[in-house]
Chains A and B, each alone.
Chain A
């Protein structure tokens, strides 16, 4: 049988099974009221022991995502009966800033540090030291976003911890004449590290959406590098792309 669940990831197997099932429930792949596959089926599908499957199910049951009925099986509960943090909010590309204005932010760290190696390599102009700012944002007391920012040493004196509770780094810099003009954004998926998991109140190894953004002013000078972790059960990134006319089909439709 498959060894795919093996803990090369450093994550317990029951945790892996829990993560996959919990996602299927959150997304309606297993619809409310529907029966979950039987324990033997789950054992086969994931290549794990029955004990592992039971442990994952016990956790889902304790969260109220499923209900186990003796003699008839395990069923997905109605979403309304689940805990509120299992419901999704959706946000778009440009919403981070707006979210900054409408949610509560906790500043976890605000400290000058030597420039991390990756930043030194990719964007040498950040200089020898940078300001590290780590913030946690919550919506209805549920933590949804953990943002880690690096600000070049030359701009660091412009920021202070108190201000950042209420506004963003970019808004603050903008007011002081350093306006953002362009940004490069990279989107990827990462596993929650222990520090991140603790803050976002998610299991270690849980999938997180990670958006990294390097912002520059109109002269091309770096203003800020921010890496944001989003809990995927509360956040997805949406972008609408209109097709440029120049790449559109130029031929006439043959069928007409």
Chain B
């Protein structure tokens, strides 16, 4: 059996982050993820065993498994029955992606791997759809426009629209650090639904300048409408991404019975795809 990585090498979960709105499993995931990335656990080496992680971090086995499940779904580890969990060779790390099937868990990771600049300018031109959504946010909604970079390359131009009341409670520094979901969570605004609409658009003059691509370059546009339990729209997010650096993934499974002819749903969710 291969030598496994000692748990003491990996550091501890940050106690201060308890109650911070960041799940325990996510904290462990991050710890292991960093260890895999920086080579503390090199490819082929065994990860600490599940019981060792449970004992070291004083967390449940379920929490440990959830963190491992996620690394496995990202194809960064492989679990071999009877012999343990091993680090895999890292594959094509240059392209970022958003995992729709783990959207709520995933968004903070992408945010952590990229650098963000909060732009002073508001988007000048908005589509009719965005103008309509903005109206649902009340009088004079606030827009936070960001440019995300990965290894120095701008890959995503995004704008988050929130009501004036919410906008005034957001500190500029914080807006740059975290995702829209985390930002709202922090303010105690719980969004329970995210409606994604994806399409392809041609880079207009503002996008081509910010993303450093020629005018008319195809970009992936994702619009997300976040709503709370009473179906009130709390935030609207729109991003334009360079497809050479970013795409969107989804793991799907068949809806309902095996024999059903219709439809897919996102893996691990109850009712995720929605018809209009």
Contacts and interface: CB of A to CB of B under 8 A. Distances in A.
A28 B129 contact: yes
Contacts of B248: 186-188
Interface string B190-222: 111111111111111100110001111111110
B188 A241 contact: no
B168 to A, nearest CB: 14
Contacts of A235: 199
A46 B203 CA distance: 11
14 contacts: A20-B215, A24-B125, A181-B254, A189-B221, A207-B201, A209-B198, A213-B252, A239-B100, A239-B250, A239-B274, A240-B196, A240-B273, A241-B194, A242-B272
Main secondary structure of the interface of B (DSSP, over half): mixed
A223 to B, nearest CB: 12
Contact of B262 (A98, A206, A230, A244): A98
Nearest to A98: B262
A121 to B, nearest CB: 11
Interface of B: 19, 21, 23, 97, 100, 103-105, 125-129, 131, 185, 188, 190-205, 208-209, 213-221, 243, 247-255, 258-259, 261-276
A205 interface: yes
A108 B250 CA distance: 28
Interface of A: 2, 4-9, 11, 15-17, 19-20, 23-24, 27-29, 31, 45-46, 90, 92-95, 97-98, 171, 174, 179-191, 205-210, 213, 218, 230, 232, 235-244, 246-251, 253-255
Contacts, number: 225
Given A2-B209, A171-B261, A247 B23 contact: yes
Nearest to B219: A189
Contact of B215 (A4, A98, A232): A4
Contacts of B218: 189-191, 206-208
B275 A20 contact: no
B169 to A, nearest CB: 10
Given A189-B201, A191-B218, A236-B198, 19 more contacts: A5-B215, A11-B216, A15-B216, A19-B202, A20-B202, A28-B128, A28-B129, A29-B128, A46-B215, A94-B255, A94-B265, A183-B251, A185-B252, A186-B97, A186-B250, A188-B243, A207-B202, A238-B276, A241-B269
